[in-house]
């Protein structure tokens, strides 16, 4: 008889102040984004997720509108077994949909850091 194996969530690594930033969001936004992150951990893909262009393959953005405000969480999915949360921020720009340059630059920097962490992690697992 086959035994049912429960799914195992992918571990999450929070880079920089991304976790603190998410905790500063309103409770309702935190709950919705937390649910979507958990869905990703178990292999799903939320409807609010889209590729984050200009950084690298496997980087996605969860875009959430909550109480007339816009919240974003950017994460790297293709860097090994773990999920790297690169940045969480409230989008305040009223013109255009483009991510502010300061936030985009931070995401690029943290993506490079996530790639290095993933390489180190995979190296330690094989030794």
Residue 5's pLDDT band, with cuts at 50, 70 and 90, is: confident
Q: How many independent structural domains does the chain possess?
A: 1
pLDDT per position as a tens digit, 25-51: 999 999 999 999 999 999 999 988 999
Please check whether residue 47 lies inside any domain of the structure: yes
Evaluate whether 105 touches 39 at the Cβ level (below 8 Å): no
Please check whether residue 25 lies inside any domain of the structure: yes
Distances (CA, A) of 11 to 37, 40, 95, 98: 11, 10, 36, 29
CATH number, domain containing residue 88: 3.30.2310.20
Please check whether residue 30 lies inside any domain of the structure: yes
Closest CA to 61 of 101, 20, 91: 91
Full-model pTM: 0.88
């Amino acid at each position: 008889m086959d035994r049912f194996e429960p799914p195992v969530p992918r571990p999450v690594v929070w880079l920089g102040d991304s976790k603190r930033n998410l905790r500063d969001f309103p409770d309702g936004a935190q709950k919705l984004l937390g649910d979507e992150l958990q869905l990703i951990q178990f292999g799903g893909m939320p409807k609010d997720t889209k590729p984050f262009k200009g950084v690298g393959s496997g980087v996605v953005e969860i875009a959430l509108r909550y109480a007339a405000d816009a919240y974003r969480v950017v994460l790297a999915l293709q860097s090994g077994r773990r999920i790297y949360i690169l940045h969480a921020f409230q989008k305040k720009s009223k013109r255009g949909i483009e991510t502010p340059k300061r936030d985009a630059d931070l995401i690029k920097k943290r993506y490079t850091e996530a790639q290095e962490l993933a390489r180190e992690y995979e190296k330690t697992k094989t030794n």
